[in-house]
């Protein structure tokens, strides 16, 4: 049964009348603060009608009633067209177009072309606007934005998780997809305020506060908190960081003595399996995050969870045992952990709660993957990674069983034709071999191998992007990479008839190899493009990269590139390729790989390899690029 039946076509005039009411709003926008739009009942009613019709059209399509689905979608598109014809469109117009574009793609995938909407619905999300700071100092998240969110949304979406949405921390907010960097009025966080959907229960948000949120997002939504997993209410109380009484020192890895408990191998997997559901980076019950080791050591609203060298007295152990505590035993509503498992955690704390690989700010799932990498053989780890990657594809695209082509050091998973999959898998294997020679790597390029996801259609690739990275795929991006669970992966959009793929695949395997060693996104991407440019120098794609890099050096500030806060994802990728390509010869990148394998943190490995910090090296590159223009 459908949750609600769609409105019949006879309701369309009333929808259009409400849309016409947006003219009142449009005329007032120039003179009044943007927050005033939230009070206009005509706008809110029109937006609700369009949204419901879009949702209903999808439900009808899924239920097999194609005629009613098409009729309902047309009604929504015509109402959107009427809204778009207004002299001044309301701020919610662009997000509604994006939503309609997604619905139309669903129909196209089902073989239905739906006319209407005046061609307004774009094929992809529009590029985010460049940050607009107008020479003014950037708005502080910790002192100006976080207090607004806690004051206006805290009870439902900071401490609570109403409507299955929580922004407990800066990281949680940014991972939620509610904020689109550089696009204030188009971000969902602002849209629900402008339309009056939020806050519920009769609350209001001051026009000045809404203006602050918009300006902050327009400026790239920068975060100035010391640890992005810090609960927002703690940020507000502590001025951008945890209270001094619960601050945690920077955690660096140490070498363990034989027989000592490993956090990465013995403890982190237990915490990831049993605790992250309630204490992950974007869901922090009682303000306690276990997203990283530093977050765990900082504790939550109830105080310190871990007291180094006092395992039995630590709140974490007492909660697991269900002894000498207030509240309930943990894990909540689940069987108790085995006595042996609790004893291992207790012994780790008695040893000093130390870290044995990566850093204290490395996400817990990445630490777990690194521990598994150390403890399993190459072949066994490859089996695990391929199994996890297959499940990741099925989560993203459950209605299509992927093909799998396995080669030494790499595995392709995708929905291309069988012969095409074989061809690309062979190309990927050759790329892995060439990269190993270029970097002088004797063993595997990455222990356990690399997975390359390949999608033949834009909407499938966009779904992979959303599932793995969160948020909409930026316009123009046709590749990405990273870590998902145990898997170091690259992902590519491979349209029909595409021929120039050797460079793309080389970029993907190199980027995944560095991402699998916890290199930041900018360096992994830059290393991928740098090596692909050396190995496939005549590729048309490589020529495009080189041209784009020269322009991106001016468009992307060095600080934004290194912080991952560039507003334009395509320009950031080009800048990363230009920067690393300028400093990274094959031998230098090989040294970098080896030092990361030796356990050096990224910044230390970079400084030792390139005789400069990342910030200094990037600033020097940007200055030289400016002189050449």
C-alpha distances (whole Å) from 392 to each of 135, 261, 278, 397, 437 are: 44, 31, 22, 9, 31
Contact 525, 577 (CB under 8 A): yes
The structure tokens listed for 456 are: 């033949």
Q: Is the pLDDT of residue 127 over 60?
A: no
Average pLDDT over residues 240-245: 41
Residue 506 in 3-state DSSP? helix
Closest alpha carbon to 225 in 174, 265, 165, 152 = 174
Kindly state the percentage of the chain with pLDDT values over 70: 80
For residues 560 and 601, membership in a common domain is answered with yes
Phi, psi dihedral angles at 358 (to 5 degrees): 60, -145
The rounded Cα 326 to chain-centroid distance in angstroms is 36
Domain boundary among 465, 498, 516: 516
208 part of a folded domain: yes
For residues 542 and 558, membership in a common domain is answered with yes
The structure tokens listed for 543 are: 């020529």
pLDDT at 626 (0 to 100): 81
Domain tally for the chain? 5
For residues 511 and 531, membership in a common domain is answered with no
For residues 348 and 445, membership in a common domain is answered with no
253 part of a folded domain: no
Average pLDDT over residues 261-280: 88
432 part of a folded domain: yes
Question: Whole-angstrom Cα distance, residue 491 to residue 61?
Answer: 29
Query: Which one has a higher pLDDT value, 487 or 118?
Result: 487
Is residue 120 very low, low, confident or very high in pLDDT (cuts 50, 70, 90)?
very low
For residues 499 and 532, membership in a common domain is answered with no
Is residue 423 very low, low, confident or very high in pLDDT (cuts 50, 70, 90)?
very high
- DSSP codes of every residue in 159-225: SS-GGG----BHHHHHHTT---TT-TTTSHHHHHHHTT-SS-TT----HHHHHHHHHHHHTT-----
State yes or no: cis peptide before 199, omega within 30 of 0: yes
Phi, psi dihedral angles at 17 (to 5 degrees): -65, -40
Question: Whole-angstrom Cα distance, residue 24 to residue 587?
Answer: 64
For residues 338 and 403, membership in a common domain is answered with no
For residues 501 and 538, membership in a common domain is answered with no
Q: Is the pLDDT of residue 407 over 80?
A: yes
136 part of a folded domain: no
Strand pairing class (487-493; 450-455):
parallel
Average pLDDT over residues 164-172: 73
Is residue 91 very low, low, confident or very high in pLDDT (cuts 50, 70, 90)?
low
Contact 482, 514 (CB under 8 A): no
Question: Whole-angstrom Cα distance, residue 530 to residue 545?
Answer: 10
626 part of a folded domain: yes
Question: Whole-angstrom Cα distance, residue 55 to residue 589?
Answer: 49
396 part of a folded domain: yes
For residues 274 and 179, membership in a common domain is answered with no
Domain boundary among 119, 153, 172: 119
Identify the weakest region by mean pLDDT among 17-26, 64-73, 195-204.
17-26
Structure confidence by residue, pLDDT tens digits, 428-482: 999 999 999 999 999 999 999 999 999 998 889 988 988 888 777 888 899 999 8
Average pLDDT over residues 553-566: 86
For residues 299 and 408, membership in a common domain is answered with no
Closest alpha carbon to 41 in 27, 22, 54 = 22
The rounded Cα 616 to chain-centroid distance in angstroms is 27
For residues 465 and 531, membership in a common domain is answered with no
For residues 624 and 540, membership in a common domain is answered with yes
131 part of a folded domain: no
pLDDT at 455 (0 to 100): 94
For residues 382 and 463, membership in a common domain is answered with yes
Domain residue limits at 479: 376-516
Domain boundary among 490, 516, 542: 516
346-378: burial string, b at 16+ Cβ within 10 Å, e else: bebbbbebbbbbbbbbbbbbbbbbbbbbeebee
462 part of a folded domain: yes
Which of 35-39, 76-80, 471-475 is predicted most confidently? 76-80
Angle, to 10 degrees, between the axis of helix 207-218 and the axis of helix 146-153? 130
Question: Whole-angstrom Cα distance, residue 504 to residue 485?
Answer: 23
């Amino acid at each position: 049964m459908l949750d609600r039946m769609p409105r019949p076509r006879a309701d369309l005039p009333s929808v259009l009348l409400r849309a016409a009411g947006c003219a009142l709003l449009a005329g007032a926008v120039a003179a009044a603060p943007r927050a005033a739009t939230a009070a206009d009942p005509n706008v809110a009613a029109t937006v609700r009608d369009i949204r419901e019709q879009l949702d209903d059209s999808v439900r009808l399509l899924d239920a097999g009633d194609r005629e009613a689905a098409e009729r309902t979608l047309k009604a929504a598109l015509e109402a959107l067209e009427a809204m778009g014809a207004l002299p001044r469109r309301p701020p919610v117009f662009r997000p509604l177009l994006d939503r309609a574009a997604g619905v139309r793609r669903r129909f196209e995938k089902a073989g239905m072309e739906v006319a209407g909407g005046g061609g307004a619905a774009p094929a992809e999300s529009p590029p985010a606007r460049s940050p607009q700071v107008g020479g003014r100092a950037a708005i502080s998240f910790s002192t100006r934005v976080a207090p607004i969110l806690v004051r206006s949304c805290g009870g439902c979406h900071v401490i609570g998780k109403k409507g299955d949405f929580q922004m407990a921390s800066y990281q949680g907010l940014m991972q939620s997809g509610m904020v689109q960097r550089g696009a204030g009025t188009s971000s969902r966080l602002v849209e629900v305020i402008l339309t009056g959907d939020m806050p519920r229960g009769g609350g209001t948000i001051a026009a000045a506060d809404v203006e602050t949120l918009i300006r902050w997002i327009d400026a790239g939504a920068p975060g100035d908190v010391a640890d992005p997993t810090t609960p927002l209410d703690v940020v507000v109380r502590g001025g951008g960081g945890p209270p001094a009484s619960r601050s945690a020192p920077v955690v660096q890895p140490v070498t363990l003595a034989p027989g000592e408990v490993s956090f990465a191998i013995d403890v982190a997997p237990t915490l990831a399996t049993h605790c992250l559901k309630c204490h992950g980076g974007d869901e922090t019950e009682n303000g306690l995050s276990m997203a990283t080791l530093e977050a765990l050591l900082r504790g939550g609203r109830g105080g310190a969870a871990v007291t180094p060298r006092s395992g039995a007295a630590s709140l974490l152990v007492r909660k697991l045992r269900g002894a000498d505590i207030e509240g309930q035993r943990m894990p909540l509503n689940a069987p108790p952990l085995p006595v042996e498992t609790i004893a291992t955690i207790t012994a780790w704390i008695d040893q000093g709660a130390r870290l044995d690989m990566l850093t204290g700010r490395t996400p817990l799932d990445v630490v777990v993957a690194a521990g598994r990498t150390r403890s399993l053989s190459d072949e066994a780890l490859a089996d695990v990674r391929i199994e996890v990657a297959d499940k990741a594809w099925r989560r993203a695209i459950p209605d299509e069983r992927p093909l799998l082509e396995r080669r030494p050091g790499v595995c392709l998973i995708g929905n291309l034709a069988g012969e095409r999959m074989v061809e690309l898998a062979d190309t990927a294997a050759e790329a892995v071999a060439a990269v190993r020679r270029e970097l002088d790597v004797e063993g595997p390029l990455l222990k356990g191998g690399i997975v390359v996801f390949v999608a033949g259609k834009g909407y499938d690739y966009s779904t992979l992007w959303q599932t793995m990275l969160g948020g909409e795929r930026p316009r123009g991006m046709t590749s990405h990479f990273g870590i998902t669970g145990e898997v170091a992966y690259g992902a590519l959009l491979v349209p029909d008839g595409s021929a120039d793929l050797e460079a793309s695949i080389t970029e993907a395997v190199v980027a995944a190899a560095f991402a699998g060693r916890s290199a930041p996104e900018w360096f992994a991407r830059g290393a991928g493009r740098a090596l692909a440019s050396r190995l496939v120098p005549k590729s048309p794609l490589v020529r495009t990269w080189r041209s784009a890099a020269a322009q991106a050096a001016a468009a992307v500030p060095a600080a934004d590139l290194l912080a991952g806060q560039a507003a334009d994802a395509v320009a950031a990728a080009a800048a990363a390729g230009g920067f690393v390509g300028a400093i990274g010869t094959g031998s230098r990148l090989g040294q970098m790989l080896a030092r990361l394998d030796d356990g050096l943190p990224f910044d230390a490995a970079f400084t030792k390899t390139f005789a400069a910090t990342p910030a200094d090296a990037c600033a020097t590159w940007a200055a030289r690029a400016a002189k050449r223009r």
